[in-house]
Amino acid sequence: MAAEATEHSSKSSSYLKHKADLDDLTILEKLDVVPAVLTTLANAAAAIFTRPFRPGPDSYFRYVAHTATRTLTRRTSVRQQRYITAPTDVAYLVACKNRGVTPNSEMLEDGTTAHWIGSSKAEKLVLNFPGGGYVFPASPEMFEFMFQIVDTLQAKGKNAAVLFLSYGIFPSLYLTTSPLTKPDLAPRSVYPRQLQQAATLLNHVLHKLEVPPSKIILAGDSAGANLTMSLLSHISHPHPSGTIQPVSLSEPLRGVILISPWISFRTTDPSFQKNAYKDCIDVRALRQWSNAFIGEEYPYPTKSDSYNHPITAPISWWEGLKAEEVLVTVGEEEVLVDSISEFAGNLRSGAGKGTKVELSVAEGDITVSRIWTCSWVIRRKMRGNKLRRLRVGLVASSKRLRSMPHPNLWWQLS
């Protein structure tokens, strides 16, 4: 079983697309990564001295780390960002090896994989859609973070597991104007491919694994939360493309967790200017990610819809939402806080009394930084192979998440 899971993970559709993207990368694009990294290091070093003069986060470490993240993501193209990161399936194998657990993956009929964190026989299940702007694959640290979630649930006597979707991300090429890129490459994994994979996974869980909707929580952060809402829209309003499996529920899903959901592609909200030096997201990077995902230039006159751009959906769209409860979390220092707060209000008004919608705003923080900070901590600890210290850092990050208001969707799964 382990060998089969490993073999499937290395040959999934997302893995093969990632490998093809790397094969398509030109020599100039690869060489350009070096000055991009040097620029990132220089800006990070400068941030040590500029922090007192800018309205950044309270923590010096967070300020420097966010500066480095913003610099790297705006300085590199989406193709280069894929080049410097490992595929999600490989990250899963690394995380399992670090933990000493046997990898276990579900191979779906279309070649998509979903990776188990915890027992595949668990009574209750979290379907997790990772973030990353539909560009970055999930990292080993993100898998380890979810392992910590399962550990905590089990410690509380909850028989729960996570099934982690490895969905298709940025196409091989969307914009062809760069002198560094090849102009004749066909795009891969553009919208609605990710929705196809999410719907296929949910149907697999419902009909093959026979997990009832009342035992399922959908969870996603950033772009993964965008995909979560896209799937909920498809359940209530089947996608008109006809290429996506319909999903029929006998009862509402137990709940939905949206962590800093990327539900708006606007970059003109006041929070973008207010939190420019506090968040780890750069406006220019955000725009190139959304352009790559949608497959055309903003404001996406032909391809934007209520499925991929949830904030544009009319309030009536959310009537009869197929979930008992929705928790939306965001930090007040995020560039997306204005649009997320607006969306939560629309969702609450549209869903009505049938679904409880709660917005949790973390003061003086960005919600995604709870995961990003976790990732930075792990990388620092892993340099010395001090696994004991690694575990301590992760447990601390998990405790921060548990301290968020209204955490019952994570910790009770009741």
304 and 312 in contact (C-beta within 8 Å)? yes
Q: How many other C-beta atoms lie within 10 A of the C-beta of residue 312?
A: 19
Q: Which residue in 77, 105, 189, 222 is the catalytic one? A: 222
**In whole angstroms, what is the distance from residue 279 CA to residue 366 CA?**
7
Work out whether the CA dihedral 219, 272, 289, 306 comes out positive or negative.
Answer: positive
71 and 65 in contact (C-beta within 8 Å)? no
To the query of whether residue 403 is one of the catalytic residues in this protein, the response is no
* DSSP for residue 170: S
Q: Which of 123, 198, 195 is nearest to 153 (CA)?
A: 123
Category of 370 on φ-ψ map: left (φ > 0), alpha (ψ -120 to 50) or beta: alpha
Q: Which of 340, 336, 342, 339 is nearest to 275 (CA)?
A: 336
**In whole angstroms, what is the distance from residue 414 CA to residue 410 CA?**
10
Query: Catalytic amino acids?
Result: 222
